[in-house]
C-alpha cells in the first residue's frame, strides 16, 4: 500500500529509539494486511513526553508503543488505563479514544505466551535477575501463571525496596520476595524458571552474562532459563544454559507477542503473528 494523504500513523516513542525493531515487525504486518497505516520510530526525551503526546493527538496519530524511559511516566497523561497496566504500574501500548489516550500493558501477555506453551507453572518458583521495568511485567506474568514464589534479585538495596513497595495495593498481590545478588547460590537450586531481566548480554554488552557457568551449575536439571534479550541469539547466558542441557527461551517471542497484542488493539482485528516473527528473524539474520 503506498503512503498517501489518507495513510494513518502508528509509532513507538522512546529514548534512545533508533535501535527499535518494532518498525520492522509492525510494517511487515501492515503490508501483509494491506491496510493504509505506517509505523514510525519517534525519539522523545523524558522532558518532551507531554508535548509529544499532545502533538500526536493534534495530528491524529492512531496509537503508539512506549519504551524506556516513558513506560511509567506516561500513566498520569492518559485518560484511561486498563486494570492490568495499573497493576503492573507501566504502560507499553496507547491508542486514541473519544475521551483521549487509553493505555495498557501487553508486555505481560508477551512474556507469558511462550511459557504457557511449555507446561503448567502452578506452584512453581521463579528467579528474576534485575528489578527494572521489564521485571515488573515478569512478576505480574508469574502471578497470572500461578507461580507460588517469585524471587527478584537486584544489586541495589534501595531499588529492591522500592520495587517491592511498588506492589503495595496492587490487586495482583504477587508472591514476591526481593534479595541481594549475593544470595543467588542459595536461590538457584529451588528455581523452576530463571529469567534474565538485566541488559547483561545485550548486543552492546555481548559476551557478558548475569550468571557464570558455575552459578548455572547450581540450577535444577528441569529448570527453564529465559533471557528477555533478543539480540544476539543466543546470548552468552543461553549458550551456557544450553551447554548444561537446560531448556532455554530468548526474548524474541515476547517481543513478537507484545507487538501482536498491540497491533490487534490498534486495528481492532486479527494480525499476522507469523509474519511479524519472520520479519524480525530475517532482520536479525541479515
Q: What mask of x and - would describe binding to ligand NAP in positions 143 to 182, judged by CB under 6 A?
A: -----------xxx--x-----------------------
Applying CB under 6 A, does 19 fall inside the site for ligand NAP? Answer: no
Contacting residue, 105, 144, 198, 248, with ligand NAP by CB under 6 A: 198
**C-beta separation of 14 from 66 below 8 A:** yes
Query: Residue 44 and residue 46: Cα distance in Å, rounded?
Result: 7
Q: How many residues bind to ligand NAP according to rule CB under 6 A? A: 25
Task: Closer to ligand NAP by CB, 135 or 263: give it.
Answer: 135
Report the relative pairing of strands 93-97 and 100-104 from DSSP bridges: antiparallel
Q: How far is the CB of 146 from ligand NAP (least distance, A)?
A: 22
Applying CB under 6 A, does 135 fall inside the site for ligand NAP? Answer: yes
Interacting residues with ligand NAP between 233 and 262 (CB under 6 A):
251, 254-255, 258
Tell me whether residue 171 is exposed, middle or buried, using C-beta atoms within 10 angstroms of its C-beta: 0 to 12, 13 to 18, 19 or more. exposed
Tell me whether residue 186 is exposed, middle or buried, using C-beta atoms within 10 angstroms of its C-beta: 0 to 12, 13 to 18, 19 or more. exposed
Task: Closer to ligand NAP by CB, 42 or 163: give it.
Answer: 163
Give me 84's grid cell.
Answer: 492490568
Write the CA distances from 237 to 44, 172, 193, 243, 254, integer angstroms: 32, 30, 14, 10, 17
Contacting residue, 44, 228, 246, 276, with ligand NAP by CB under 6 A: 228
Q: How far is the CB of 154 from ligand NAP (least distance, A)?
A: 5
Q: How far is the CB of 134 from ligand NAP (least distance, A)?
A: 3
Q: Where are the alpha helices (DSSP H) in 60-132?
A: 83-88, 107-116
Give me 275's grid cell.
Answer: 509474519
Applying CB under 6 A, does 191 fall inside the site for ligand NAP? Answer: no
Applying CB under 6 A, does 30 fall inside the site for ligand NAP? Answer: no
Applying CB under 6 A, does 184 fall inside the site for ligand NAP? Answer: no
Q: How far is the CB of 168 from ligand NAP (least distance, A)?
A: 19
**C-beta separation of 62 from 43 below 8 A:** no
Applying CB under 6 A, does 40 fall inside the site for ligand NAP? Answer: no
**C-beta separation of 126 from 149 below 8 A:** yes
Task: Closer to ligand NAP by CB, 93 or 97: give it.
Answer: 93
Applying CB under 6 A, does 271 fall inside the site for ligand NAP? Answer: no
**C-beta separation of 201 from 227 below 8 A:** yes
Give, to the nearest 10 degrees, the angle between helix 107-116 and helix 252-267: 120
DSSP summary character for residue 278:
H
Residues annotated catalytic, as ranges: 71
Q: What mask of x and - would describe binding to ligand NAP in positions 46 to 75, judged by CB under 6 A?
A: ----------------------x-------
Applying CB under 6 A, does 23 fall inside the site for ligand NAP? Answer: no
Binding site for ligand NAP (CB under 6 A): 68, 107, 110, 130-135, 154-156, 159, 197-200, 202, 228-230, 251, 254-255, 258
Amino acid at each position: 500500500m503506498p503512503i498517501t494523504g489518507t495513510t494513518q500513523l502508528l509509532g513507538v516513542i522512546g529514548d534512545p529509539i533508533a535501535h527499535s525493531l518494532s518498525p520492522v515487525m509492525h510494517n511487515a504486518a501492515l503490508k501483509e494486511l494491506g491496510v493504509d497505516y505506517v509505523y514510525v520510530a519517534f525519539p522523545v526525551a523524558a522532558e518532551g513526553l507531554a508535548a509529544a503526546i499532545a502533538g500526536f493527538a493534534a495530528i491524529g496519530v492512531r496509537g503508539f508503543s512506549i519504551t524506556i524511559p516513558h513506560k511509567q511516566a506516561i500513566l498520569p497523561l492518559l485518560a484511561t488505563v486498563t486494570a492490568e497496566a495499573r497493576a503492573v504500574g507501566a504502560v507499553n501500548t496507547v491508542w486514541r479514544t473519544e475521551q483521549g489516550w487509553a493505555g495498557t500493558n501487553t508486555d505481560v501477555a508477551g512474556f507469558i505466551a511462550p511459557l504457557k506453551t511449555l507446561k503448567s507453572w502452578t506452584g512453581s518458583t521463579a528467579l528474576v535477575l534485575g528489578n527494572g521495568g521489564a521485571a515488573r511485567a515478569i512478576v505480574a506474568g508469574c502471578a497470572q501463571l500461578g507461580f507460588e514464589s517469585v524471587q527478584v534479585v537486584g544489586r541495589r538495596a534501595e531499588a529492591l525496596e522500592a520495587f517491592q513497595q511498588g506492589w503495595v495495593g496492587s490487586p495482583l498481590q504477587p508472591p514476591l520476595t526481593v534479595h541481594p545478588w549475593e544470595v543467588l547460590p542459595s536461590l538457584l537450586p529451588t528455581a523452576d524458571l530463571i529469567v534474565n531481566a538485566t541488559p547483561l548480554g545485550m548486543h552492546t554488552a555481548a559476551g557478558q552474562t548475569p550468571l557464570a557457568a558455575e552459578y548455572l551449575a547450581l540450577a535444577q536439571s528441569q529448570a527453564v532459563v529465559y533471557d528477555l534479550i533478543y539480540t544476539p541469539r543466543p546470548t552468552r547466558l543461553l549458550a551456557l544454559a544450553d551447554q548444561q542441557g537446560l531448556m532455554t527461551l530468548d526474548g524474541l517471542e515476547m517481543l513478537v507477542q507484545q507487538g501482536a497484542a498491540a497491533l490487534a488493539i490498534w486495528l481492532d482485528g486479527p494480525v499476522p503473528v507469523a509474519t511479524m516473527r519472520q520479519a524480525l528473524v530475517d532482520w536479525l539474520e541479515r
